[in-house]
Amino acid sequence: MLFIVFLISLTRLFFIQCFRNKYLIQLARKQQNLFINLEPRRGTIFDRNLRPLAINLQSESLYAVPYEIKDKQGTIKLLLSILEVEQSYLEKRINSNRGFIWIKRKLSPEVVDEIKKLKIAGLYFIKESKRTYPNLHIASHLIGFAGLDNRGLEGIELFYDQYLAGANGWGIGLRDARQERLGLWEKLVLPSNGYNIILTIDEVIQFIVENELDRIMKKFRPAGGSIIVMDPLTGEILALANRPTFDLNRTPQTDDNIRRNRAITDLIEPGSVFKVITASAALEEAGANEQDRFFCENGAYRVANHTLHDHRPHGWLTFREVIEQSSNIGVTKIAQGIGGDLLYKYIKKFGFGNKLNIDLPGEIEGMIKPPRHWSAVSIGAIPIGQEVGVTVLQLASAISTIANQGKLMKPYVVREIQDEQSLAIKRFYPQLLSWVISPHTASRLAEILAGVVEHGTGRHAQVKGIRAAGKTGTAQKLEPNGRYSHNKFIASFIGFAPVDNPKIAVVVVIDEPRPVYFGGVVSAPAFKNICENVLRYLETQTSPSMQLVTKDAVGVSD
């Protein structure tokens, strides 16, 4: 009998060694080893003065080893009372036959403590980094946000994700017979952390702009609004804000309509601010000068089968007065004098109808029809900002061109990309896109726009102790039937200051303010408030000189 037992045992051992060895090796590895993805630290996003706008904080994530969980139904019930997940989701994961499966990642400290108190075998935590935005909604549309896997989904987070994300690592950790981690690694590949991004945005200027938008939202109850502050000499965006806005730390609670960056994604008819383009073309091509006089038909002028009206009747006005008083009829006669082909040429030269290629996702090119597609009334509509579609960013670049002696600069929001040792990986410099008008024409137009602020429709934009230049706009919105609305307007103001040495260009566009809707009443005071606060702040700052590169250069230094 002993011999028979010994023979059976020997046979069984032979079977195990020869036919079951691979299975048992895999089972041992499954019990003793644990494969873990090692997440890199996502790069930090800073403003131009190295104030953090997006950072990573350590958090804990919950995972399960399902075959170690004895009471699976009981575990599911206990977790349901703590985690905000569906029961079917938990059942699918807890009943999985995998050796490692995520339950929920990047939990709050309170939730982690509750689960740890349960002391359930088979549930474990691993430390990860969680993307956090310390300023909540400030610059939300520009910064964007990253998902649970630390991958960018919107804004800077998306556009520069290849630099911010880094590369994952992995490791095979060892465990003892009780399935406790030993702190030893059989194999280990360390993650590569992401690079840091330094923006052109100034956090202080961004706060000023956000506060002004909040004031407008409270006072005029508009459907939305956008403000951009730009350095006209370099194309650097100093601030960009939209309303409605959202908390970057709570993105799942907001919808796509709120999260879109309407300053670069929304098409608007600009209205009277577009008259600046018509005036630029006429002055540059000597189609008119400041003292030329135009009869404004006492408020009604027939263009083809359409009657054009001014907000209030005017008789004879000089070229300068036509812009200062924002006469639709006067501007139309200026456009008729230079012709549609020449006007279209300058609209395109100012960057309308094309993407400016800002380093943000979602930019649209706008809409401008070539003259061959114009109707008989287009010469009375396009010069005053109708039948064209533009973005707020394009308006900011256009007014900056006038402030910058006729040079159109590429707008950009990132100054530098740095590694963990603060060494520059890439630097971005001002880039000249084109020379739109001569410095002489730009100077003449700046004086005319200063007159708009000093004794024209933009008097509410006057900045105490500083000469400012700008243009008001009040545009009717299109109804779904294609007709212009009589109760929905876009109020806007574009301008720069100081006139003689421009430091900032500002665009304020407010969608459907009420009950007042004029750009000179709604948007011009916002321009004034922003200029006063920003210029006072800039007096305390010093900025290093930036190298200028031409359109043919890449604008990037390795």
State the residue for tokens 């910064």. Answer: 143
* Radius of gyration over every alpha carbon of the chain, rounded to an integer in angstroms: 31
**In this model, does residue 501 exceed pLDDT 80?**
yes
- What is the tens place of the pLDDT at every residue in 285-315? 988 899 999 999 998 999 988 898 988 899 9
Give the homologous superfamily in CATH for domain 33-81+95-199.
Penicillin-binding protein 2a (Domain 2) (3.90.1310.10)
**In this model, does residue 478 exceed pLDDT 90?**
no
Of 84-93, 182-191, 349-358, 434-443, the poorest mean pLDDT is in 182-191
Q: How confident is the model at residue 33 (pLDDT cuts 50, 70, 90)?
A: low
**In this model, does residue 77 exceed pLDDT 90?**
no
Q: What is the pLDDT of residue 515?
A: 92
User: Whole-angstrom Cα distance, residue 319 to residue 315?
Assistant: 13
User: Whole-angstrom Cα distance, residue 428 to residue 390?
Assistant: 26
User: Whole-angstrom Cα distance, residue 256 to residue 14?
Assistant: 64
Q: What is the pLDDT of residue 555?
A: 42
Pair of tokens at residue 74: 């009981």
- The average pLDDT across 313-331 equals 94
Q: What is the pLDDT of residue 35?
A: 61
Beta strands in 144-291 (DSSP E): 169-175, 181-189, 196-199, 224-230, 237-243
Angle, helices 340-349/275-284, rounded to nearest 10 degrees: 110
User: 40 versus 211: which is more confidently predicted?
Assistant: 211
Count the Cβ atoms, other than its own, within 10 Å of residue 372: 8
- What is the tens place of the pLDDT at every residue in 182-238? 555 566 667 788 999 999 999 999 999 999 999 999 999 999 999 999 999 999 999
**In this model, does residue 504 exceed pLDDT 90?**
yes
- What is the tens place of the pLDDT at every residue in 415-430? 999 998 889 999 999 9
Report long-range pairs for 450-454 (Cβ below 8 Å, ≥24 apart).
Answer: 450/499, 451/320, 451/323, 451/324, 452/323, 452/324, 452/326, 453/495
Q: What is the pLDDT of residue 173?
A: 64
User: Whole-angstrom Cα distance, residue 258 to residue 255?
Assistant: 6
Q: Which residues contact 418 (CB under 8 A, 6 or more apart)?
A: 195, 196, 197, 198, 424, 425
Helix (H) or strand (E) holding 335: helix 328-338
185 in Cβ contact with 171 (< 8 Å)? yes
Q: What is the pLDDT of residue 410?
A: 97
Positions marked active-site: 272
Q: How confident is the model at residue 557 (pLDDT cuts 50, 70, 90)?
A: very low
User: Whole-angstrom Cα distance, residue 558 to residue 552?
Assistant: 17
Q: What is the pLDDT of residue 106?
A: 81
Q: How confident is the model at residue 544 (pLDDT cuts 50, 70, 90)?
A: very low
User: 47 versus 544: which is more confidently predicted?
Assistant: 47
Domain definitions of the chain by residue range: 33-81+95-199, 203-557
User: Whole-angstrom Cα distance, residue 333 to residue 321?
Assistant: 13
Q: How confident is the model at residue 76 (pLDDT cuts 50, 70, 90)?
A: confident
Highest mean pLDDT among 6-10, 85-89, 311-315, 458-462: 458-462
Map 269-293 to HEC letters.
Answer: CCHHHHHHHHHHHHHHCCCCCCCCE
Q: What is the pLDDT of residue 388?
A: 95
Among residues 146, 41, 151, which one has the least CA distance to residue 420?
Answer: 41
Q: Is the peptide bond prior to 232 cis by the omega test (within 30 degrees of 0)?
A: no
Q: Is the peptide bond prior to 544 cis by the omega test (within 30 degrees of 0)?
A: no
Whole-number mean pLDDT of the chain?
A: 88
158 in Cβ contact with 359 (< 8 Å)? no
CATH number assigned to the domain with residue range 203-557, chosen from the 4 options 3.40.50.1820, 3.40.710.10, 3.30.460.80, 1.25.40.10? 3.40.710.10
Across the strands, what pairs with 473?
Answer: 492
Cα Dmax for the chain: 127
459 in Cβ contact with 472 (< 8 Å)? no
Q: What is the pLDDT of residue 16?
A: 74
- What is the tens place of the pLDDT at every residue in 235-252? 999 999 999 999 998 887
Q: Among residues of the chain, what percentage have pLDDT more than 70?
A: 90
Q: What is the pLDDT of residue 558?
A: 39
Pair of tokens at residue 380: 């009375």
Pair of tokens at residue 227: 């403000």
- The average pLDDT across 456-465 equals 94
- What is the tens place of the pLDDT at every residue in 262-292? 999 999 999 999 999 999 999 999 888 999 9
Per-residue DSSP letters for 431-486? BEEEE-S-HHHHHHHHHHHHHHHHHSTTGGGPBTTB--EEEEEEEEEEPTTSSEEE
Sheet holding 504-511, edge to edge: 237-243, 224-230, 504-511, 484-497, 469-478
